[in-house]
Structure 1
Amino acid sequence: MSKNSSVSKAFAAAFVVLTVSAITGLVIMIIVYNTEISSMNPTPRPTFPSTTAGPPPDMRLPKNLRPQSYKVLLWPRFYTKIIEEVNVTSPNQTLLFTGNSTVNFHCVQSTSSIYLNSMWLIVANPVVMNKDTNEKIGVSAVNDQQDNSIFLEVQLNSALEAGGNYSLSLDFSGEISEFLYAIYVSTYVEGVPAHEGDTNTERFLVATNLEPTDASRLFPCFDEPDMKATFNVTIIHRRDTKALGNAEQSDSNIIDKEWKYTSFHPTPIMSTYLFAFTVSEFNSISSQHDRVNIQTYARPEAIAAGHAQYAANITGEILKFYESHFEIIYAQTKLDQIALPDLEPTAMENWGLITYQEGVLLYEKGVSSLLHKEFIAMIIAHELAHQWFGNLVTMKWWNDIWLNEGFANYMSFFAVDHVEPTFKLKDMHMMNNLHNAFEQDSLASSHPLSPPQGDIQTTSDIIQMFDSISYCKGAAVLRMLADYVDKRVFDNGIKMYLSDLRYKNSDQNDLWEYIQKAVDEDAGHTEVAEMMNTWTKQIGYPVVTINTTNGEVYQKHFLFNDSSESSLSWFVPVRVMSNISAPTVLLLKPGKIENKDEFLSTNGEWILANVNCSGYYRVNYNPENWERLLTQMEKNPHRIPVMNRGQLVDDAFNLARAKIVEVTLALNSTRFLRNEREFLPWESAVRNLEYFVLMFDRSEVYGPMQVYLRKQVEGLYNSQNQSEVPTDHSSQHTQIIAIQVACSNRLPECLEMATEMFANWMNSNTTENNIHPNLRSVIYCQAVAVGGKEEWEFAWNKFQSSSDTSEKDQLREALACTKKIWLLSRYLEYTLNPEMIRLMDVASTINHIANNVAGQALVWNFIRAHWEYLHMWHGPELIRGVTRRFCTQFELDELVKFSIEYYQSTATRRAIEQTRVNIQWVSQNKDIILQWFERETAL
Structure 2
Amino acid sequence: MCLRGADVDHATAHQGREVLPANVIPTNYDLTLEPNFSDFTFDGKVTIDLKVTEDSKEISVNVIDIDVHSAHVSSSGVSAQEAIKTSYNDELQRVTFQFKDTIPAGSETKLTIKFKGTLNDKMAGFYRSSYKAEDGSTQYLATSQMEPTDARRAFPCFDEPALKANFDVTLISDEKLTCLSNMDVKEEKKVEGGKKAVTFNKSPPMSTYLLAFIVGDLRYIETNEFRLPVRVYATPGNEHHGKFSLDLAAKTLKFYEETFDSPFPLPKMDMVAIPDFSAGAMENWGLITYRTVDLLFDENTSGAATKQRVAEVVQHELAHQWFGNLVTMDFWDGLWLNEGFATWMSWYSCNIFYPEWRVWDGYVTDNLQRALGLDSLRSSHPIEVPVKKASEINQIFDAISYSKGSCVIRMISKWLGEDVFMEGIRRYLKKHAYKNTETGDLWAALSEASGKDVGKVMDIWTKKVGHPVLSVTEDGKKVHVKQNRFLRTADVKPEEDETLYPVFLGLREKSGINTELTLNGRETTIEIQDPEFYKLNANHTGIYRTSYSPERLTKLGEAAKNGLLSVEDRAGMVADAGALAASGYQKTSGVLSLLKGFDTEEDFVVWDEISSRLATIRGAWLFESEDVKKALKHFNKDLISPIAHKIGWDIKPTDDHVLQQLKALAFGSAGMSGDEQVTKAALEMFEKFAAGDKKAINSNLRGSVYAIALINGGEKEYEIILNEYRNAKNADERNTALRALGRSKNPNCIKKSLDLALNGEVKEQDIYLPISALRTHAAGTEALWQWAQDNWDTIVKKLPPGLSMLGSVVQIVTSGFCSDEKAKEIKDFFATKDCKGFEMGLAQSLDSITAKAGWIRRDKDDVEKWLKEQKYLS
Give the TM-score range, shorter chain.
Answer: over 0.9
SS in 2 for 1:166: strand
Q: Which residue of 1 aligns with 2:524?
A: 594
Q: Please give the per-residue CA displacement for 1:222-274, whole angstroms capped at 9, x wherever unaligned.
A: 00000000000100001110100010001112224531110100111100011
Q: TM-score, normalised by structure 1?
A: 0.87
1:632 aligns with 2:556: no
Pick from 340, 354, 357 the counterpart of residue 288 of structure 2. Answer: 354
CA offset digits 1:844-885 (Å, max 9, x no partner): 332233334331111101111112222325321122222333
Counterparts of residues 253-402 of structure 1 (less than 5 Å): 253-256=189-192, 258-303=194-239, 306-402=240-336
Which residue in 1 is equivalent to 2:545?
Answer: 618
Picking from 567, 570, 588, the partner of 1:663 is: 588
**Alignment counterpart, residue 405 of structure 2, candidates 453, 466, 474:** 474
Helix, strand or coil at the partner of 1:180: coil
**C-alpha deviations, 1:170-212, integer Å up to 9, x for none?**
1000111022111111111122x5xxxxxx6321111011111
What is the match of residue 184 of structure 1?
127
Hey, what's the Cα distance between the residues in 2 that align with 1:844 and 1:768? 22
Deviation at residue 832 of structure 1 after TM alignment: 1.0
Aligned counterpart, 2:484: 556
Contact kept in structure 2, 1:493 and 1:514, CA below 8 Å: yes
Distance (Å, rounded) in 1 between the aligned partners of 2:435 and 2:141: 33
Q: 2: distance between equivalents of 1:854 and 1:733? A: 30
- Name the residue aligned to 1:882: 813
Superimposed CA distance per residue, residues 748-781 of structure 1 (whole angstroms, 9 cap, x where no aligned partner): 00110111110112224xx633211111111112
- CA distance in 2 between counterparts of 1:387 and 1:142 reads 40
1:732 correspondence with 2:660: yes
Find 2:185's aligned residue among 249, 258, 277.
Answer: 249
Once residues 788 and 503 of structure 2 are traced to their aligned partners in structure 1, the CA distance between those partners, rounded to angstroms, is 42
* Alpha-carbon distance between aligned partners in 2 of 1:889 and 1:773, rounded to the nearest angstrom: 41
Conserved? CA contact 1:851–1:882, under 8 Å: no
Partner of 2:471: 545
Match in the other structure for 2:729: 803
Aligned partner of 1:691: which letter? T
Report the CA distance shift for 1:737/1:58 in structure 2 as closer, same or farther (over 3 A): closer
CA distance in 2 between partners of 1:468 and 1:371 (Å): 20
| Partner of residue 368 from structure 2, selected from 434, 438, 444 | 434
Deviations 1:786-829 (A, max 9, x none): 11111111111222122321211111112222121211112211
Q: 1:629 to 1:120 in 2, by over 3 A?
A: same
787-796 or 241-250: bigger deviation = 787-796
What one-letter code is carried by the residue in structure 1 that aligns with 2:458? M
8 A Cα contact 1:571 1:588, kept in partner:
yes
* TM value normalised by structure 2: 0.94
CA-atom RMSD in angstroms: 1.8
User: Matches of residues 470-869 of structure 1 in structure 2 within 5 Å?
Assistant: 470-520=401-451, 526-549=452-475, 550-565=478-493, 566=496, 567-590=498-521, 592-597=522-527, 600=528, 602-633=529-560, 635-636=561-562, 638-700=563-625, 701-725=628-652, 727-764=655-692, 768-834=694-760, 836-869=761-794
- Does 2:65 match 1:120? yes
Q: Which amino acid counterpart does residue 793 of structure 2 have in structure 1?
A: E
Task: Tell me if structure 1 keeps the 8 A contact 2:30–2:168.
Answer: yes
Matches of 1:358 and 1:609, distance apart in 2 = 42
- Secondary structure of 1:669's aligned partner: helix
Secondary structure at 2:817 match in 1: coil
**CA 1:344–1:581 in structure 2 vs 1: closer, same or farther (change >3 Å)?**
closer
**36, 43, 62: which is aligned to 2:21?**
62
Give the percent of matched residue pairs that are identical in Structure 1 and Structure 2.
28
Match of 2:383 among 449, 467, 473: 449
1:548 maps to amino acid: E
Q: Measure the CA separation in 2 of the matches of 1:346 and 1:924.
A: 39
Q: Distance in 1 between matches of 2:459 and 2:749?
A: 51
SS at match of 2:505: strand
In 1, are the aligned partners of 2:170 and 2:200 still within 8 Å (CA)? yes
User: 1:697, CA displacement in angstroms?
Assistant: 3.1
Distance (whole Å) between structure 2 residues aligned to residue 162 and residue 642 of structure 1:
63
CA contact (8 A) 1:344 1:840 kept: yes
- Aligned counterparts of 1:538 and 1:551: Cα–Cα separation in 2: 27
8 Å Cα contact 2:182-2:212 kept in structure 1: yes
Aligned 8 A contact 1:450 1:536 in 2: yes
What is the aligned partner in structure 2 of residue 897 from structure 1? 828
More divergent stretch after superposition (784-793 vs 749-758)? 784-793
Compared CA separation, residues 127 and 853, structure 1 to 2 (3 A)? same
Cα 1:410–1:364 shift into 2, 3 Å: same
- Tell me, which stretches of 5 or more residues in structure 2 are unaligned? 1-14
Cα distance in 2, alignment partners of residues 284 and 337 from structure 1: 9
Counterpart of 2:11 in structure 1 is none
Alignment of 1:124-135 (within 5 A): 124-130=69-75, 132-133=76-77, 135=78
Structure exhibiting the larger radius of gyration computed from Cα positions: 1
- Give the superposition deviation at 1:162: 2.9
Give the Cα–Cα distance (whole angstroms) in 1 for the partners of residues 94 and 314 of structure 2. 35
- In 2, the alpha carbon distance for the partners of 1:913 and 1:827 equals 27
Matched AA of 2:682: A
Aligned to 2:79: 136
Residue 233 (1) aligns with residue 161 (2): no
1:76 to 27, 35, 41: 35
Distance 1:157 1:255 in 2: 36
1:138 counterpart SS class? strand
- State the distance in 2 between where 1:724 and 1:907 align: 39
How many Å separate the matches in 1 of 2:86 and 2:382? 37
d(CA) in 1 for partners of 2:181, 2:137: 26
| Alignment partners' CA distance in 2, 1:222 and 1:205 | 26
Q: What do the CA deviations read for 1:88-118 (whole angstroms, capped 9, x no partner)?
A: xxxxx21111011000011223332111101
The alpha-carbon deviation at position 936 of structure 1 amounts to: 2.0
Aligned equivalents of 1:439, 1:114: Cα separation in 2: 45
Aligned partners of 1:267 and 1:140: how far apart in 2?
29
Q: Which moved more, 1:68-77 or 1:288-297?
A: 288-297
- Equivalent pair of 1:70/1:104 in contact (CA under 8 Å): yes
AA matched with 1:103: I
Against the structure 1 CA distance between its residues 58 and 309, is the aligned structure 2 distance closer, same or farther, given a 3 Å change threshold?
Answer: closer
